[in-house]
């Protein structure tokens, strides 16, 4: 999972990658620290073309504020440069997986 600290880095990554999952969290956020490895494993196992990004909102406030992240954790999904879905505070990994499956399959099914 790539860690970024600026809004420009985030924008560049979203523009360059077809599928992006952004996890906004913090080093002192227990839920964030617990969900981060589980999201990474899910992406690695089921969505290998999904770029994953971690933004530590405690250390890098401006990109979090620019994305209107005011509580943690937040997961944003981007496909083809467009925001697709957003999960805030209380959500399940199953809900995130379900949101990724269809657009991911449409983008990458031809690649096998």
* Cα distances (Å, whole numbers) of residue 15 to 23, 26, 36, 59, 82: 17, 25, 23, 24, 9
CA dist., res. 109 & res. 73, Å (int): 30
- Residue 72 lies in domain: 2-111
pLDDT digits (tens, 9 = 90+) for 1-38: 999 999 999 999 999 999 999 999 999 999 999 999 99
Number of domains in the chain: 1
Q: What is the CATH classification number for the domain harbouring 80? A: 3.40.30.10
pLDDT digits (tens, 9 = 90+) for 42-52: 999 999 999 99
Strand partners, 19: 79
CA dist., res. 90 & res. 31, Å (int): 9
């Amino acid at each position: 999972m790539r860690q970024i600290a600026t809004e420009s880095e985030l924008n560049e990554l979203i523009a360059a990658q077809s599928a992006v999952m952004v996890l906004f969290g913090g080093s002192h956020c227990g839920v964030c620290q617990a969900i981060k490895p589980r999201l990474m494993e899910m992406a690695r196992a089921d969505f290998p073309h999904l770029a994953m990004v971690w933004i530590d909102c405690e250390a890098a406030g401006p990109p979090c504020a620019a994305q209107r992240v005011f509580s943690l954790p937040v997961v944003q999904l981007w496909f083809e440069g467009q925001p697709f879905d957003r999960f805030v505070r209380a959500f399940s990994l199953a809900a995130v997986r379900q949101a990724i499956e269809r657009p991911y399959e449409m983008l990458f099914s031809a690649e096998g």
